Structure 1
Amino acid sequence: MADVDNDGQGRGSLQWIVALVVVTGLSAGAGTLASFHMLATVDRLVDSRKEVVETPVISAFNPSDRLRKIAPVTTNLAAPPDSWIRMEASIVTDKLNDEESHALTAKVGEDIVAYLRTLTPNQIEGARGLQYLREDLNERAVTRSGGKVRELIIETLVVQ
């Protein structure tokens, strides 16, 4: 009887080992297939990004345009009398010589001061107020320069 029990345990152990080898093989195969699928997906993503990166970047400005810094402007607002505003801005211009650019930035700076003195803090409050201020100053700069200014860029704006 003892021989039969040993024989039964031997077959049971062998079956477990065979089952373990089969499950291990299936797992390895599934892992290999999953990795090939993942590599193919990554390759497709990389190829699609290469197409996006290879498109040239189109700028809104000409290569001959120059960025000119305007002297910081500090002035009081129209109302209330104790409110102040400080603004730093730059303008994008055509290629100008140094004399013309200094004169133009001074004119635009004076025009900014004159315009800011007519405002109240409520008029430039929030995103919409800032957008209106930017558009108004941009329009005034283009008009004042005779079209030599492409755009006015507000860098900093502090209202106190």
Structure 2
Amino acid sequence: MASKGDSKDKDGKGGGIMPLIIAAVLSIVIGVGAGYGTIVTFAPPKAPEAAAKPAAPPAADAKAAEAPAADAKAAGGHGAEGDAAATEEEQPPEPVDPADVAYTPIPPVITNVAEPPTVWLRLEGGITYLKSGEKKPDVLAGETAQQIVQYIRTIKLSDVEGHDGMQFLQDDLNDITRSLSNGQVQNVLISGLIVE
């Protein structure tokens, strides 16, 4: 005599373990795929292929360097000048002696933003600079404050909202002040930002 549970399994209407196994396998496959996608998306960039090649003898390097420069000049390119500029941009900055770095506060910066023009920002902070540079700290602080005013007048309030906005502001100010001070200003440090 067959029980009621056996008749349900034969008819295909019962629960069974097969749907549970299929669901488990699908969730594992989807999880592995999502994990792989995350790893591929956030993985650090691969090293350039040039670093993987074995070093060639110095004479071969000189000939190899001359050939692309000659080809670029013949093709109307920038030649060695363009290559030198590209390699300068790729090189990391030279290390700085910690004994040569000092801090000075900058005058508070109070100015309005580009949009909405009725909103005002007050930025307080300072700069780290190289003592061996040609400009004095008070001159650097004043020039940096002027550069910050000019930059803030070009941004929108939404550009500085949140953590990412503050990081972009910090990075932009660092880039601007370094380039305009010929590298004497190392960093702009923001100690306060008030929106009115």
- TM beyond 0.5: yes
Q: Which has the higher contact order (CA 8 A, sep 6+)?
A: 1
Change beyond 3 A, Cα 1:91–1:138? same
Cα distance in 2 for residues equivalent to 1:138 and 1:83: 23
User: Which residue matches 1:71?
Assistant: 107
CA contact (8 A) 1:79 1:120 kept: yes
Alignment of 1:1-160 (within 5 A): 62-95=98-131, 100-160=136-196
Cα distance in 2 for residues equivalent to 1:151 and 1:61: 15
Percent identity between matched residues is: 33
Structure 2, unaligned runs of 5 or more:
1-95
CA contact (8 A) 2:100 2:132 kept: no
Structure 1, unaligned runs of 5 or more:
1-59
Question: Aligned Cα RMSD in Å?
Answer: 2.0
Using the TM superposition, give the Cα deviation of residue 138 of structure 1 relative to its aligned residue in structure 2, in angstroms.
0.5
Structure with the larger helix share: 1
CA contact (8 A) 1:78 1:118 kept: yes
Using the TM superposition, give the Cα deviation of residue 110 of structure 1 relative to its aligned residue in structure 2, in angstroms.
0.4
- Specify the structure having the higher radius of gyration (Cα): 1
Cα distance in 2 for residues equivalent to 1:73 and 1:121: 16
Report the 3-state secondary structure (helix = DSSP H, G, I; strand = E; otherwise coil) of the residue aligned with 1:71: strand
Using the TM superposition, give the Cα deviation of residue 63 of structure 1 relative to its aligned residue in structure 2, in angstroms.
2.1
Q: Deviations over 1:67-109 (max 9, x none)?
A: 0110000001111121000001211011159x72111111111
Q: What residue identity is the alignment partner of 1:147? A: G
Cα distance in 2 for residues equivalent to 1:80 and 1:138: 24
Report the 3-state secondary structure (helix = DSSP H, G, I; strand = E; otherwise coil) of the residue aligned with 2:100: coil
User: Which residue matches 1:14?
Assistant: none
Change beyond 3 A, Cα 1:127–1:82? same
